[in-house]
Amino acid sequence: MLRWLRSFVLPTAACQDAEPPTRYETLFRALDRNGDGVVDIGELQHGLQSLGIPLGQDAEEKIFVTGDINKDGQLDFEEFMKYLKDHEKKMKLAFKSLDKNNDGKIEPSEIVQSLQMLGLHISEKQAELILQSIDSDGTMTVDWNEWRDYFLFNPVTDIEEIIRFWKHSTGIDIGDSLTIPDEFTEDEKKSGQWWRQLLAGGVAGAVSRTSTAPLDRLKVMMQVHGSKSMNILGGFRQMVKEGGLRSLWRGNGTNVIKIAPETAVKFWAYEQYKKLLTEEGQKLGTFERFVSGSMAGATAQTFIYPMEVLKTRLAVAKTGQYSGIYGCAKKILKQEGFGAFYKGYVPNLLGIIPYAGIDLAVYELLKTYWLDNFAKDTVNPGVVVLLSCGALSSTCGQLASYPLALVRTRMQAQAMVEGAPQLSMVGLFQRIISKEGVPGLYRGITPNFMKVLPAVGISYVVYENMKQTLGVAQK
């Protein structure tokens, strides 16, 4: 198929600048199935499939967004030709960025080197597998003609876009606030795509958290009361009996409201810490990303922590105990003072490090495993693999930091439990171990794990739909 493109449609290296329009016309006529002089999205999809041209994810839509200059939902020949010429220029830049030794060919070692600079570590064997799909002459190197032929209709414009499938995105919200912040390219920052993606992630998080709020409240109840007799079904019955069905969402308002300020502070802090840890133009490695993300998470948590306390107090409260978020804050301030808004702050801060570290480490491990065993001709793992890796790595991070999260929650709610001593972090650990044993440190973890899969699924669907609504270009 690639040889057909080269000989029949595409310009050779020697005549690239003097490309006769008849070559573009030949391809255009092959796509214009009804011969009306324009190509719509359906014709483009069917035409490219029949020609066997490899596409990127949502490629046809991206081509239309970029190429349809007059926005009439169709591509005429001039728009079609302009798109191909402009796209070739961008792909030439991508090719040059990979061709480190400027010999006009991309070799496996150059693929490894380039991806390593972007934080994606693969072996030379994996790079060879990736190149095999592009290499049409069996030389195990890719020249400009092969590169251009392969990516002719793939709307990626630079090497970062080609491998950013593996970005560990926080667009998937599972209700935990310890995640590493998202990263954006310079183009995304300049075009304003970054805030649209953050907004899409915020809306997805709000819907996801609201959908799984009953499980989250049950987790908090089990963490605070620590009763071996409280099981999942019994816990739900008890909450409904005490406050009705609406009580299952108690505390969720605060959990949703804090998404916006936390995301904003975390994103801002992450950018600042990245600048401190890297030199200008240097790409962020896994370790730098972990340190920057952990510090950004700590900064954001410091800023929004009083809302964490309010969420816990409202979740544990009985019906009528507080009149709402404001009433709860006012009552705590009056009865316990400002310090009560930072109870449990130390274990919460300590929990960021094991969570973020293990989350990233497991994600990298799963990524490497997939690349070693399943990456035959592409580094794009697909949606299911990405969601599975993200959910599993986040779950492992939660498992590691859960005892600290439990102690944090108990410290936040101690004043509400009658007869409960006001213990320190160390004192609480000792009390839990002596009275409940090690399993006591994991009280409530079952409903916490139960919410991961629905949270990931709901968050992903809403996130993708919000990105379309906001006009965010698909990766």
The more confident residue out of 457 and 382 is 457
Res 405: pLDDT: 92
Averaged pLDDT, 132-143: 76
Which distant-in-sequence residues (6+ apart) come within 8 Å of 19 by Cβ?
11
174 vs 194: which has the higher pLDDT: 194
Least trusted range by pLDDT, from 91-95, 265-269, 297-301, 319-323: 91-95
Residue with tokens 């693969």: 122
Residue 402 confidence (pLDDT) above 90: yes
Tell me what the pLDDT averaged over the chain comes to. 79
Question: What pLDDT does 409 receive?
Answer: 93
**pLDDT at residue 51 in the model:** 64
pLDDT at 18 over 60: no
Residue 474 or residue 8, greater confidence: 474
More confident residue, 125 or 201: 201
Contact 201, 173 (CB under 8 A): yes
